[in-house]
Amino acid sequence: MNKASVLIVDDELKIRRILQIMLENENYKTEQAKDGAEALKKMEYADFDLIITDMKMPNMNGIELLEQIQKRDNTVPVIMMTAYGTIQTAVEAMKKGAYDYILKPFDLEEMKITVDKAYRLTFLERENKYLKEELEHKHSDKIIGKTSRMKKVYKLIKQVSKTKGAVLIYGESGTGKELIARTIHNCSPRKDGPFIVANCISLSENLLEIELFGHEKQASNLYKYGSRQAPSEIEERKIGRLELANNGTLFLNEVSVLSEQVQERLLSLLEKETDIRIIAATNRNLPAAIKESRFSKAFYNKLSDSYIALPPLLERKGDIPFLIQYFIQKFSQSTGKRIDGISHTAMNALLNYTWPGNVGELRNIVERAVVLETSSIIGQKNLPFYIATYEEKISPSENKTTYIEIKKEVVDDFGKE
């Protein structure tokens, strides 16, 4: 279990020093603040896993500090220290979200036990958060498409779901790469295992490597607030997403940003007999990146055992009416509204738009329109201004499937779910 970074807040230096020595002997990292204002300033520059604060302090008392902490991050446990005369205030603090309170003068062993319990609970919650989200995730969206381009995608999904090899999904942002990856997983023999997502583009190189491969116990020099601290054991172990994906699937979203070192480690993993399937996705031209020595050819070859290219929405415009009706149905249910359809002018405006954000953008626009609409039909007025002004260029003869037929088909599909 990781050892926490603890912020000690008390206007008495002696109390801060006693707690510092006790906690650092237990391999916790510590920082100190003499009052609430200094504590909040330190929280701007560092993340703390646990906060121990006195109740009575000048400038800002413990209750006020707790309220500010709750606004910033209500997952951080706060232990309150209080004298006998303010027990009622401590109870009030717990009602406002404090984890526990300790009476002054406190017993060091009691404090240590309370700190360990608070952090153990928080550690387990944070360590399993993304795993729990994925295992319990009810991904209500489904793949919608009747065009020939999408039929080819369905065929490929069916084929690759039966295999064990890696899959590379290419598509512009908003084309539904994660939805395709989930569908492959759910149609595969691994469907009862975890589906773990790693959004490569959202993390720095070092953090991404830790997220993927985990972190074993090691000594490290810490640099904080301009002063060097002595080496200390800062972490015992962090479970990586690769380990969490055992018996399941790891989805690497935007794989193009992976460093050479991470690519090599993943390639080594893929070449071994492991019980993890990797599905990677990108919106970038990886062959071009290989030519420019920005991506490993060996890693690319291993990732693309199977390859699926998702068409942009502009190249499957025949699916737009089906997608619109599907999202109307979906968001009408979630908002408790009764929206039966969309006006002719609004539909034509959506058909003529260029959709740089693809299906993701369409989804957001329909959700917004459902929320804003006060009648039973979505009108042009509730579309974004840059779409609502599009001229009508589609003649009725170009749309061979009538809107009534589309609506009936989508509603029937909902009834089967």
221 has a pLDDT exceeding 50: no
pTM: 0.61
Measure the CA–CA gap between 92 and 164, rounded to whole angstroms: 56
Question: What contacts 344, CB < 8 A, 6 or more positions away?
Answer: none
- Specify the pLDDT at position 129: 57
Q: Return the higher-pLDDT residue of 363 and 206.
A: 363
Relative to beta strand 215-220, strand 232-238 is antiparallel
Give the closest residue to 219 by CA, choosing from 6, 4, 30, 27: 27
Retrieve residue 325's tokens: 């009706």
**Beta carbons of 378 and 342 less than 8 angstroms apart:** yes
Percent of the chain with pLDDT over 90: 51
Instruction: Locate 191 and state its tokens.
Output: 């469907």
Indicate if the pLDDT at residue 381 is higher than 70: yes
The span from the CA of 183 to the CA of 351, in Å, is 27
Res 233 pLDDT > 50: no
Q: Which of 92-96, 115-119, 186-190, 266-270 has the highest mean pLDDT?
A: 186-190
How high is the pLDDT of residue 70? 87
What integer is the mean pLDDT of 137-153? 79
CB 348 within 8 A of CB 398: no
Angle, CA 293 vertex, CA 291 and CA 296 arms, to 5°: 95
φ, ψ for residue 117, nearest 5 deg: -65, -45
Report the pLDDT averaged over residues 351-356.
93
* Helix 177-186, helix 148-161: angle, nearest 10: 40
Q: Give the pLDDT band (50/70/90) at residue 320.
A: very high
C-alpha to C-alpha distance for 28 and 122, rounded to whole angstroms: 14
- Measured over the CA atoms of residue 83, residue 89, residue 92 and residue 97, the dihedral's sign is negative
Question: What one-character DSSP code corresponds to residue 276?
Answer: -
Handedness of CA 210, 216, 221, 225 (dihedral sign): positive
Neighbours of 128 (CB within 10 A): 13
pLDDT tens digits, residue range 4-30?
A: 789 999 999 999 999 999 999 988 889
Catalogue all structural domains in the chain, each as residue range(s) with its CATH number.
5-127 (3.40.50.2300), 148-311 (3.40.50.300), 314-416 (1.10.8.60)
Q: What is the DSSP string of 400-414?
A: -S-HHHHHHHHHHHH
Tokens encoding 397: 């003869």
What whole-number distance in Å separates Cα of residue 100 and Cα of residue 94?
6
Please tell me which residue, 244 or 180, carries the higher pLDDT value: 180
Distance in angstroms (rounded) separating the CA atoms of residues 251 and 182: 9
pLDDT of 278 strictly over 50: yes
Q: Place 133 in a pLDDT band, splitting at 50, 70 and 90.
A: low
Q: Residue 228: pLDDT above 70? A: no
pLDDT of 74 reads 78
Buried b / exposed e over 236-256, threshold 16 CB at 10 Å, is eebebbbebbeebbbbbbbbb
Nearest to 104 by CA among 78, 83, 80: 83
* Cβ contact 322:290 at 8 Å: no
Q: 325 to each of 264, 283, 364, 374, how far by Cα in Å? A: 45, 27, 13, 17
Q: Which has more pLDDT, 409 or 363?
A: 363
Whether residue 236 has pLDDT greater than 60: no
In the structure, what pLDDT confidence band is assigned to residue 86 with cuts at 50, 70 and 90?
low
Q: Is the pLDDT of residue 398 over 70?
A: no
Q: Which residue has the higher pLDDT, 33 or 228?
A: 33
